[in-house]
Chain A
Amino acid sequence: MNTKRNFGLGCALLGAIGVTTAAHAAEQITFVSQGGAYQQAQTVAILDPSAKKLGITINQDSIPDAWPAIKTQVGSGKPIWDVVDTPTGYCLRGGEQGLIEKLDFSKIPNAAAMPDAYRSPHSVSYEFYSSVLAYSQKTFPKDAPNSWADFWDVKKFPGRRALRNHPIATLEAALMADGVAPDKLYPLDVERAFKKLEEIKPNITVWWTSGAQSAQLLNDGEVDMEMAWNGRVSAVAKEGAKVAFTYNQGILQSTSLCILKGAPNLETAVKFLNEAVDPVHQANLPLHIDYGPGNPKAFETGVIKPERAAQLPSEPANAAKQALMSYAWWSSPAGEAAEKRWASFMQK
């Protein structure tokens, strides 16, 4: 009895060893994103097809805020992650602090073909979302606010308002309200932006902190117009709430892919990076979730139907109406100073 069991155990152990060697033989990487419906959509559209095409194993992990983990993993000298999908600003900051690998774009032709504004020496755009002006169709059945100047015009558009309790995208909106063209925003005139924000401050009912909160405010009729992320507004609209948004003067934001400094599977990670921004895989993403592809060439593949494309933040015609966020500016000393100034603005 005892021997038999040990024999069985031995077989199982041998089997396990066999499996581990096999896994080592095949190339693999660890990919990290933010979890939830978003990571699920990527798995179907991008991750599984890429793994199949490259013949590699993609191990997935997820974390809402990857930045502290990137710092500790690289700081320890033995990172376990390879590729991370995180807000572009972190990729840039990580690049400056030596936490992120510099990319060799000759090995990443798909990224090399993308416009300069869509990549940095350390990262490649992966998907787009937008901070848009959203409003209640009950309050504004017609003649809805259509620009940040309208949002600031409390006489012509009376109603309660909400903005995000964060300077990123909010300062951009303030400057556009003050007449700065969407493509002439950077470097931001921080002084002018805060001055314009002081103007609207008494009329802001809520400064929201989470995307869920912004959706609830609009859904419950707590505010009549607000800045919100396009995916949140369309989710509320899908559930039947009378809300809408405009891409006009939206602030186009992105998450990017980057590779941790000293990643355990660097070569495979670079191969994966190229595959992940392949126009066809990228075109598949918006079929599963309300985010736009990071590679603009995805719109030329014919995978995304014109009706669907028109709903997406990074579709060329929509993108042309918006301001493309400069993460380089936000991670510069001026950007960091503006971020620190926000708190004193809020509490005054």
Chain B
Amino acid sequence: MTTPVPDPSLRYQRREHGLMLALVSPALLVILLLIVMPVGWLAWQSIYHDGFTLENYRRIFTEEVYWRSFALTFEISLAVTVLALLLGYPVAYLANTVPKGWSILILALVVLPFWTSVLVRAYAWLALLQRTGVINQLLRYLDMINEPLALVHNTFGTVVATVHILLPFMVLPLYATMQKIPSDLMQAGASLGASPSLTFVRVFLPLSLPGVIAGCTMVFVLCLGFYITPELLGGGRTVMVSMLVSRNVELYNQFGAASAVAVVLLLSVLLIFFAVSRFISLDRILGQK
């Protein structure tokens, strides 16, 4: 046995880790100061107002209004996620298969709406969907309907506009994952006699699942906090959790009443992820077993 010689690569690695840590520390500090501390402070206010109180939470768990909003918020988020996946997957797939120039064009079109504000896009949907809007007028002109359809000022209008706004968050992670799938695998499948659709289902689809999970998570979580779209296009009936937050500031004149709602939303999201991870091994989905 030779005496252990310090592995130079290990030392190098350790030094690199130290450097990395030093480089991320400003970002971590910003997160700590601007996110962790204010969120912690708000959470504290939800249980402390002239002494400890669970009043804010008692209200959430006993008044029906809160359950309705939470249920509606999760329903809308689920609908938006499913629609965004159905619409986004083919787009990402197409961008992945066409030549480079075309894929850049497709991705540019996907990202383009990012350059206009959410507010402007909500109003644009209003112009399209309302009773005297473009779609209803076109359908009437074509004699397909007698009465204008109620396309907006309800949950439907909210979902449509939200899908539009969140679609890029589905397409981009999908595209990134698909890019990493080696095209040899599809050729191998074909050479073994599988039809294109079988190769897709057995090879491509499972390999793209990490992108699906990433995209769905992103869209679902972002949708849970949506405010402007339901406010403008929901017709007053579509009360999502974020609207409860702002309403509670007005009604109770203290931050605690509002931040308790946000804390419950945060905890229920964490709970969902915990439940999902218990039933489906995330590792297997990510293909690392």
Contacts and interface: CB of A to CB of B under 8 A. Distances in A.
Interface string A332-348: 00000001100110110
A208 interface: yes
Interface string B66-87: 0011000000000000000000
A344 B130 CA distance: 26
Interface of A: 67, 71, 160, 165, 205-209, 213, 216, 220-222, 339-340, 343-344, 346-347
Nearest to B236: A207
A221 B251 CA distance: 32
B67 to A, nearest CB: 10
Nearest to A208: B236
Interface string B56-71: 0000000111001100
A205 B129 CA distance: 14
Contacts of A209: 231, 236
A303 to B, nearest CB: 37
A213 B232 contact: yes
Given A205-B235, A213-B232, A220 B68 contact: no
Considering residues B69, B153, B251, B253, which has the most beta carbons from chain A within 10 angstroms of its beta carbon? B153
Nearest to B249: A68
B125 to A, nearest CB: 13
A205 B130 CA distance: 11
Contacts of A220: 130, 132
The 3 A-B residue pairs with the shortest CB-CB distance in the complex, in nearest-first order: A207-B236, A165-B236, A347-B68
B69 A347 contact: yes
Given A160-B131, A221-B132, A340-B251, A206 B63 contact: no
Contacts of B130: 220, 222
A165 B176 CA distance: 44
A221 B247 CA distance: 29
Contacts of A216: 126
Contacts of B131: 160, 221-222
A258 B153 CA distance: 38
Contact of A343 (B65, B153, B235): B65
Contacts of A205: 150, 153, 235
Given A206-B153, A206-B236, A344-B63, 6 more contacts: A67-B253, A209-B236, A222-B132, A344-B65, A346-B237, A347-B237
Given A343-B247, A344-B63, A344-B64, A207 B132 contact: no
Contacts of B253: 67, 71
15 contacts: A67-B253, A206-B235, A206-B236, A207-B235, A209-B231, A209-B236, A221-B132, A340-B251, A343-B65, A343-B247, A343-B251, A346-B237, A347-B65, A347-B68, A347-B237
Contacts of B153: 205-206, 222
Contacts of A340: 251
A206 B126 CA distance: 13
A253 B131 CA distance: 31
Contacts of B235: 205-207
A247 B236 CA distance: 25
Contacts of A347: 64-65, 68-69, 237, 239
A346 B251 contact: no
Contacts of B64: 344, 347
A207 B130 CA distance: 15
